[in-house]
Structure 1
């Protein structure tokens, strides 16, 4: 089928969904995941429910007030192996209108995957008389993607209307975000402590999409949407920990994330709906507020619960809009994560060495953008206006919304007074993560 320039313009307007973790309309960055979970294999084994306990070096990011509980200078290092699968639910297929209000979305869902080994966390903690100090390094983001989608065909109810193609695109993502920080914790009495972590963060950001259009004589008309930049910023974590007795502790922390500047560019071989541009914009990583409880059921059994509110809506503030459809916008709702974990300690199970068994669960809320219209409102135009009818969007449909359940298991082994090992696994629909942490306590 041959397409004229008008049809290509309509297709282009419809083919630039909002990026899940970026403030521009670039499909390459859709539904990216930053590492908002607490670091360390121990925290991973209990589903990340660590804000109310925070009794090891990973407290620098979970709840820095907990550093005051560490009484020996220690070094902690974590290594991870991650196999991730990212789904493209609109990879190809058909959209068929059945009547005025109903559509059959016959999408082809295709998955792409990659694996990586990383060292996402390192820390050193030095306890003093009434203070504890710490330095740390963390990887918050490490994402690479490269794939090409297929064509999506749209069949309106009125067969006289020209068929609409959502053309393929080539999408590339390469994003890293690394933090280097300092922490301090202080007791405010027998049962209360406060802590603060401040970190310098650097981001390398590339999320580029090339829309693979063709004109009426099947000549290629690439449309490049480029989002690239390298910048740094400063963030911090403020924490409070209350230990009223030996069997209960409660914590709260707020993580303020930095913003980064980067460059947006629209580069069209043929000018379609607006002028090419080159502009500077910013990327705001979402802040998070966490509440946690830790309850010691017996001397050997501990139950933990965290509630974390992530302000995903910050990602769509001050959006740079490429698509030009004023009546269709997208937004991301703030999300609440629930984390639950249980730890059972066996004091001398293996050659007199203490062993901890852990189970955990947490739910990751859907945090890709959604349209401000319902799925059955995607048609625009009148049946009496012929070829003026078009489909406004097919990529931020409400039917794609799905939360992700994470199931966790872990073990901890105290080898001697100086050396401790933790291992954990996180299983979810889209990822499998193995974490191994080593803690070395320095001799006084």
Structure 2
């Protein structure tokens, strides 16, 4: 009986490699882009190459040093919706292979900005909300395993839902006629929306060991609550009327992470007439060390109507560490100890352009961009690429923008489920809509 119990526990917890040990040291996966970039339909229509542009209220997220370019008070709102398909390949268990899809809509960003003068200096303050990380994922697949005198036929349902967002308090000052400095204080708390996510793992099936048939059912629910704060520091330098350079640094921070865990396992041996039920409820306070990220960008205005931009942006994912209540440190990316993990920093490249069709009473922009958006993984980052395009309409004090982004990858994710010969293709389609009103 001990052998069967041990076998079931290994398979149930190992199927998607989420360890539910007492210290809760497990992987924290971000299915959406894990890189903490900015928001806005205009910026993302340009491929996210916006550090050296940063001339609307979303600059608080991209480069707060660019906020000084806002000449009028304004409010802005950004909504988004995405559809992502994971084409999963389990080489060792082909019955589990197939496509899994998920869709979601929500608020991406909103802000209010107010420029003013003090002591003959141009300044601006803004208040913003940004949705940064999304954990939405749904997988459902069968798994069949067998040994010399045993086999298990099971079904797996895995679901993750929730997001992390920050309330931003920004300030920018023009220190020289062409140079401005800015800072955004990001408060990761529950003031506007709960900063939490949840994972649910459900498995059930039948099996046989040494001629004894059994059925089983397993359910595991983990709820994570996240709280912390950090800052974005930015600088913008308008070298001349055409070339602008920008840089941003987003500080690392330690977030408080409360993990509430519930697990349930039921086993029934049909021939022996024996069964058992085991349920566990635990709560643990942990710390999640969020990594440093930084970027530089440049924009060049070829004419009043045409602007091109480029960004380089890096995140030190090797410093992304989960520390449990007992002091044990692991990489949330791999689930391995800090010493065993081999995680490299990820470096993004983003290129974008915007052309304005300017008329006496209105303007219509056309935008496009390309980007390389790698995700951290054991050994080396997974290569993820994307393209974007967008347009809009500006009339008097109203500006409406829309953007489409296609993010894709092929044969990545080996380190997610390395015991299963796993890899996946990703296709993600995202629409952004923004409205800006000047006063």
Which TM bucket (shorter chain)?
A: 0.7 to 0.9
Q: Does 1:119 align with 2:107?
A: yes
Give me the whole-angstrom Cα distance separating, in 2, the residues matched to 1:325 and 1:405: 27
> Structure 1 residues 270 and 332, CA, compared in 2 at 3 Å: closer, same or farther?
farther
1:426 alignment partner, SS class: strand
Q: Does 1:177 align with 2:155?
A: no
How many residues align structurally?
384
Q: Does 1:333 align with 2:340?
A: no
The 8 Å contact of residues 170 and 182 in structure 2, kept in 1 or not, is answered as yes
> Structure 1 residues 152 and 190, CA, compared in 2 at 3 Å: closer, same or farther?
farther
Let me know the Cα RMSD of the aligned residues.
3.5
Q: Does 1:232 align with 2:227?
A: yes
Q: What are the Cα deviations for residues 13-52 of structure 1, in whole angstroms up to 9, with x where unaligned?
A: 7435369xxx966578474544723211110110000001
The 8 Å contact of residues 291 and 306 in structure 1, kept in 2 or not, is answered as yes
Q: Does 1:241 align with 2:273?
A: no
Q: 1:386 matched to which residue of 2?
A: none
The 8 Å contact of residues 16 and 25 in structure 1, kept in 2 or not, is answered as no
Give me the whole-angstrom Cα distance separating, in 2, the residues matched to 1:256 and 1:218: 55
**Alignment gaps of 5+ in structure 1:** 96-105, 156-160, 373-397
Q: 2:383 aligns with which of 386, 399, 403?
A: 403
Q: What are the Cα deviations for residues 59-89 of structure 1, in whole angstroms up to 9, with x where unaligned?
A: 0110001111111111111121222223443
> Structure 1 residues 285 and 214, CA, compared in 2 at 3 Å: closer, same or farther?
farther
Give me the whole-angstrom Cα distance separating, in 1, the residues matched to 2:215 and 2:343: 34
TM-score normalised according to structure 2 size: 0.76
Give me the whole-angstrom Cα distance separating, in 1, the residues matched to 2:43 and 2:297: 12
TM-score normalised according to structure 1 size: 0.75
Q: 2:300 aligns with which of 295, 299, 308?
A: 295
- Shift, 1:113, TM fit: 1.8
> Structure 1 residues 10 and 174, CA, compared in 2 at 3 Å: closer, same or farther?
closer
Give me the whole-angstrom Cα distance separating, in 2, the residues matched to 1:248 and 1:309: 23
Q: Does 1:206 align with 2:198?
A: yes
The 8 Å contact of residues 182 and 233 in structure 2, kept in 1 or not, is answered as yes
Give me the whole-angstrom Cα distance separating, in 2, the residues matched to 1:48 and 1:131: 25
Give me the whole-angstrom Cα distance separating, in 1, the residues matched to 2:289 and 2:88: 24
The 8 Å contact of residues 47 and 352 in structure 2, kept in 1 or not, is answered as yes
Give me the whole-angstrom Cα distance separating, in 1, the residues matched to 2:205 and 2:80: 40
- Shift, 1:245, TM fit: 0.8
> Structure 1 residues 299 and 186, CA, compared in 2 at 3 Å: closer, same or farther?
same
Q: 2:326 matched to which residue of 1?
A: none
Task: Name whichever structure is richer in strand by fraction.
Answer: 2
Q: 2:318 matched to which residue of 1?
A: 313
- Shift, 1:427, TM fit: 1.4
Q: 2:139 matched to which residue of 1?
A: 147
> Structure 1 residues 76 and 266, CA, compared in 2 at 3 Å: closer, same or farther?
closer
Q: What are the Cα deviations for residues 87-109 of structure 1, in whole angstroms up to 9, with x where unaligned?
A: 4433xx636xxxxxxxxxx5753
1:360 alignment partner, SS class: strand
**Alignment gaps of 5+ in structure 2:** 190-194, 268-278, 323-328, 409-426
The 8 Å contact of residues 94 and 154 in structure 1, kept in 2 or not, is answered as no
- Shift, 1:152, TM fit: 5.0
Give me the whole-angstrom Cα distance separating, in 2, the residues matched to 1:281 and 1:227: 13
Q: What are the Cα deviations for residues 125-167 of structure 1, in whole angstroms up to 9, with x where unaligned?
A: 1111221111111112343334333215478xxxxx6678695
